[in-house]
Amino acid sequence: MVQQHTPMIQQYLKIKAEYQDAFLFFRLGDFYELFFEDAVKASQELEITLTSRDGGTRERIPMCGVPHHSASGYIENLIQKGYKVAICEQTEDPKHAKGVVKREVVQLITPGTVMDGKGISAKENNYIAAIANFSGQTFGVAYTDLSTGENRVTVLDGSEDLLLDELATIGAKEVVACPNEDEDLLRKIKERCQAVISYEESSHTQDEFQPILQKLNTAELQESAQRLLHYLKKTQKRSLDHLQPFAIYENNQHMKIDFYSKRNLEITEPIRGKDKKGTLLWLLDETSTAMGGRLLRQWIDRPLISKNMIEKRLLLVELFIEHYFERLDLQELLKSVYDLERLAGRVAFGNANARDFIQLKKSLMQIPAIRSLIEGMENEETDKLAQALDPCEELTDLLERAVAENPPISVKEGGIIKDDYHTELDQYRDASRNGKSWIAALEKEEREKTGIRSLKVGYNRVFGYYIEVTRANVKLLEEGRYERKQTLTNAERFITPELKEKEALILQADERSIELEYDLFLDLRNQVKEFIPRLQQTAKIISEIDIYQSFATVSETRYYVKPELHFNRELTLENGRHPVVEKVMGSQEYVPNDCMMDEEKEMLLITGPNMSGKSTYMRQIALTAVMAQIGCFVPASKAKLPIFDQIFTRIGAADDLISGQSTFMVEMLEAKNAITHATKNSLILFDEIGRGTSTYDGMALAQAIIEHIHDQIGAKTLFSTHYHELTELDKQLFHLNNVHVSAVEQQGKLVFLHKVKDGPADKSYGIHVAELADLPQSLIQRAEEILGELEQANGKQKPSVSVKAAAKESAVISRSNEQLAFFSEPKESAVDKHEKKVLKEIEDLNLLEMNPLQALNVLFSLQKKLRN
């Protein structure tokens, strides 16, 4: 006989088959139970005890479980680790069940659909995105924050890299794709974005989606948005009324900064660690509300390229700086404004409690005062902001009348609704609170009516409340009003219509009171739901106001200036500073630097020793441009900037171990990205390009890249290098200028001045930097000896004009007048015919077409010939 699982386990397996990629939390009584592989894995991840149970077969089934009342903490833990959790509840009363109690999955919780808890940060959006792939060259991308209801959609025309950069910018925690999507693309998404991949085939239109899809008029826009909505409907299984209409945006409406450039510049994420300290976001975030913090991150991720929009923001920041006292009052008011966006989301989602309503009421009560403050600034733009603020007086009044000031967290235990809000509820409460006093009053009243002084009102569990009268006094009772309930030896017990009615109230008051309160709360929640669009609009305006006061506070505190933006080629920064480094330095004095570029000076070639501040100088130019184009004042005493359409960087060197790419390959890929996509209106920062390979190759590539950008692209470019030979390029490239970060020797020690000056650096000070790094003194001395010998042997040969010329003129390459040279130019009198032949071979070499391995083999061959 074939053994079968028990009916309950069969039910579990049937439901689990539909949720293979999720932990199934299966409700059994007061516990959520997990079975089979789910139990084994969950016990490890959650560090809970793994047990087993009889499932109807010979082998016992692995099992673990968590209490229902504390399950949320365990679920959050799994979600934070990137798992999905399917919540399976009993959907039938066990008392009425015929066989196994009916159970259904009521919600699938995923990293992209978390609504609250530790897995969701107050000042960060929690986005879930969906993609539609049209032949690998056009992609539809739709994304939403389920907790706030924000919806956006765009179409990207280009390579997969454009899609990967967009998803990384969004910061999507989960990406929904078609089941037959290219696996290689999904792997790249998972690696680049650290996102969970989910699948949804449906992407057709449904009537219920029409209100939020009405602006989408192309298949590319519609398919990704509809795929996302189908997935949310299928997984959440509840109202999504708070989802806002999809806002269409175009990628070219904002300054583009690719994933690697954002990382290099540490705009929102630090290169190392997870703490936001040390990022531009950390510097600028003086917001008082969670909504403002989230919008600030969105602004930083997508700087503007519209001059009018930028100047509008700058004007408002300027107004907030000028109105200092109003700004202080505003900051205090904003501290009392809770997260209206997520409160509205919780209301629509059906998981808002009474404390959420109190937060909502307190927030709305601040709006009139905020509106008054903004109107007081007396400007057309501030007036627009003030008029857009909706205090929702009707909602505030409703919540004030309905909700108790200190309600419990649970919505099913009573204590939520205020007195005088609902007549029936008041009766139940009155019966519950005043039942004994009412009974005493009834007893007194009945004695007076009947004249029976021994009459009493009593209670027992069997018969409930009664009026007890001795047999001798029964004749004094009013006929027809008293109904006999029980006969005793010496007395009769009666009940009156009034007592009968009150008995039902008193005995069932608590139970019915709690039930009625819950019903009233659900009705109240539905009433609040009607205000969601108005709440979301007010939340948007509050968020903007919060950012303006944040920018004003940072700009005033740190002595930033209002930038002047234009469409010509001038870039003027006087006394510019790196905003983040300056803040981190605290009381230490930051050395400011100028940057002057125009149509005659499009490229700066930056030289100077390591640690002197070349990279910092380059980064501060880029961060200043970002700050200006998000509408913030900038760290300088004067700033005139062009509007950049893109920023590209290659700063720092680190192997991409995940994809198996070397430092040099990453360097070349990032260079290629800039060269391929940059325009004349872009900003390019290249830090020591070419150092990841041999000297010849590196220098050749560096020069070729400089020439290509100079001749073919014309973008504003800052290029730092240790190849001092490249400083001669200013004689050939008319838009290139040399600058250097200065350093001096004092008593044999290197002192960094961190000041950028015109012209090339005269030294690299490599050994001095090694000494600063505390390398052994004996090693330093030996290095100086070797350097002296090599310099003497080479006669301190001056660098040649270019790499090509160096190859033709005997391959003499040196880093500076006092830096290592790799080949000596022998004196003619000491060269025999054999050596001349070798030198001729060197002259004929085409170094630019060799890879490092080929160059090494040729070098070895030449060395062998010379030794022979």
d(CA 104, CA 92): 10
Residue 450 vs residues 446, 454, 479, 675, 726: alpha-carbon distances, Å: 6, 10, 11, 105, 118
Listed as ranges, residues in the chain with pLDDT below 50 are 1, 653-660, 796-831
d(CA 608, CA 754): 10
d(CA 578, CA 559): 13
Q: Which two tokens stand for residue 601?
A: 């000076």
Residue 283 identity (one-letter amino acid): L
613 labelled binding-site residue: yes
- pLDDT of 854 reads 63
610 labelled binding-site residue: yes
User: CB–CB of 628/310 below 8 Å?
Assistant: yes
d(CA 199, CA 140): 15
Residue 581: HSE in the Cβ half-sphere, 13 Å Cα cutoff: 19
Those residues with Cβ within 8 angstroms of residue 444's Cβ, 6 or more apart along the chain or in another chain: none
Those residues with Cβ within 8 angstroms of residue 703's Cβ, 6 or more apart along the chain or in another chain: 726, 729, 802, 803
Q: Which of 281, 255, 256 is nearest to 270 (CA)?
A: 281
614 labelled binding-site residue: yes
pTM of the predicted model, to two decimals? Answer: 0.81
261 labelled binding-site residue: no
- pLDDT of 803 reads 40
336 labelled binding-site residue: no
Phi/psi at 546 (5° precision): -60, -40
Residue 64 vs residues 34, 48, 140, 510: alpha-carbon distances, Å: 5, 7, 42, 37
585 labelled binding-site residue: no
Phi/psi at 262 (5° precision): -60, -40
3-state SS, 442-499, equals HHHHHHHHHCCCCCEEEEECCCEEEEEEEHHHHHHCCCCCCEEEEECCCEEEEECHHH
- pLDDT of 826 reads 42
- pLDDT of 787 reads 65
- pLDDT of 464 reads 84
